[in-house]
Amino acid sequence: MIKKILIANRGEIAVRIIRACAEMGIRSVAVYTDPDRWALHVKRADEAYNIGSDPLACYLNPRQLVNLAVETGCDALHPGYGFLSENAELARICAERGIRFIGPSAEVISRMGDKTEARRSMIAAGVPVTPGTEGNLADLHEALAEAARIGYPVMLKATSGGGGRGIRRCNSQAELEQAWPRVISEATKAFGSADVFLEKCIVNPKHIEAQILADSHGNVVHLFERDCSIQRRNQKLIEIAPSPQLTPEQRAYIGDLAVRAAQAVGYENAGTVEFLLAEGEVYFMEMNTRVQVEHTISEQITGIDIVREQIRIAAGLPLSFGQEDVRHRGFAIQFRINAEDPKNGFLPSFGKITRYYAPGGPGVRVDTAIYTGYSIPPHFDSMCLKLIVWALTWEEALERGLRALDDMRLQGVKTTAAYYQEILRNPEFRSGVFDTSFVENHPELLNYSIKRKPEELALAIATALAAHAGL
């Protein structure tokens, strides 16, 4: 078995991996830059090393991270999500230095990270894809010609894009001409590549993704699906497992497609195959070659520890279960509690957390790296925590979500929590029938008011008085 893991990440996912290591008797090594000196993952790991003063650059230096893994006696490296988690060079350097990369091979990362190559692989495997270009676009002239062939609206996408970046919807020739330089610039800055392609825009689809696990012994299983349709500008806000919108036949079909996709590219470790569902048709969108932010809800409905399985697979062990052993029970909902102000265009709200109280009770899970007194640095993602609720029925999960969001106390920064309560109260959402246009079509949900409880008002007054007195 693996004995020591360097975690090439930060925040809540680093804490999540550290906890899995502790349960498996594996030593954990954290890395941090200067703004993260007091971060929770630094406090929780068995060892922690400062990798530089630059907030971001040092988290994005694959050779430095692998060198540190070797120097500290690690035999494996876990990339988490974001940063270098889908970086083929990191996986390649790990292999060169004898460090086990807890993820797929560099070849598979490269193949699935290139969205045009991924499309070709899925077509060969018989997995349905959206109509689009079969390669990268040479210039704007070719893009305009292809868009006319495909038919507007189209999606202009960065070949190496992800996380909602490097993507624009274009409803006309004029919009495509306007979006072209912006997407090229964003793709170059964010992903180091100016390659882009076009896909037919599936208007107002349901966004469904399937969690898969695959080992080096030829075993591939899916852990059912997650519904990620509640999103804003391609950024997921609320995720649900399983989807309340699928029939048993659709669920089985999507699970089988995900397994087929993984088998087609010789996949190993955890991954997610993302689909769009519209008018009864399913289309492959992309494959994420890492653990997802929303892996938590798949764990809640199946009882399977995905991070633990990731580590076992990297150690060369077979999956500890087969497809016939995987069952789903109840419904789980994840809320991404972001330090953002929904009433002000979702602008980031970084700063010091003056009070934090985690919700609890039956069926409530919180994955986070924040604490009272912690200052959220402005250099990273705005997510404060992931609040996950589980219940036997969809209706009970909704009520548990409302209660847990009300239980939580997070002061000092503005968050999306109250906005999520409005979504949970909305009849359309409660019906379990919605698509990716939900947030855009319900601007009225932003007209909420936050009702502060007496103790919160007292704390706010005391804080203001102390600040005024210079205490």
In sequence order, the 6+-apart residues with CB closer than 8 A to the CB of 362 are 400
pLDDT reported for residue 463:
53
pLDDT reported for residue 357:
97
* pLDDT greater at residue 163 or residue 336: 336
Q: Which two tokens stand for residue 49?
A: 């090393």
Give 365-381 pLDDT, tens digit per residue.
999 999 999 999 999 99
Question: 3.40.50.1370, 3.40.190.10, 3.30.470.20, 3.30.50.10: which CATH number matches 206-446?
Answer: 3.30.470.20
pLDDT reported for residue 433:
97
Where in 242-291 does DSSP place strands (E)? Answer: 269-278, 281-288
For residues 298-322, give the mean pLDDT: 98
DSSP letters spanning 371-396 = -TT-EE-TTS--EEEEEEEEESSHHH
The CATH code belonging to domain 4-102 is 3.40.50.20
Question: 3.30.70.360, 3.30.70.2860, 3.30.1490.20, 2.60.40.10: which CATH number matches 131-200?
Answer: 3.30.1490.20
Give 7-40 pLDDT, tens digit per residue.
999 999 999 999 999 999 999 999 999 999 999 9
Name the pairing type of β-strands 331-338 and 383-391. antiparallel
pLDDT reported for residue 116:
87
> For the chain, what is the mean pLDDT?
94
pLDDT over threshold 90, residue 83: yes
pLDDT reported for residue 189:
84
Full-model pTM = 0.91
Q: Is 232 a catalytic residue?
A: no
Calculate the dihedral angle through the C-alpha atoms of 201, 277, 117, 267, rounding to the nearest 10 degrees.
160
The whole-angstrom distance between residue 103's C-alpha and the CA centroid of its chain comes to 15
For the four alpha carbons of 35, 41, 44 and 50, in that order, the dihedral sign comes to negative
pLDDT reported for residue 469:
59
For the chain, give the percent of residues with pLDDT over 90: 88
- State how far the Cα of 208 lies from the Cα of 280, in Å rounded to an integer: 12
Q: Where are the domains of the chain?
A: 4-102, 131-200, 206-446
pLDDT reported for residue 247:
96
For residues 38-54, give the mean pLDDT: 97
Catalytic residue of the set 92, 226, 290, 365: 290
The whole-angstrom distance between residue 198's C-alpha and the CA centroid of its chain comes to 23
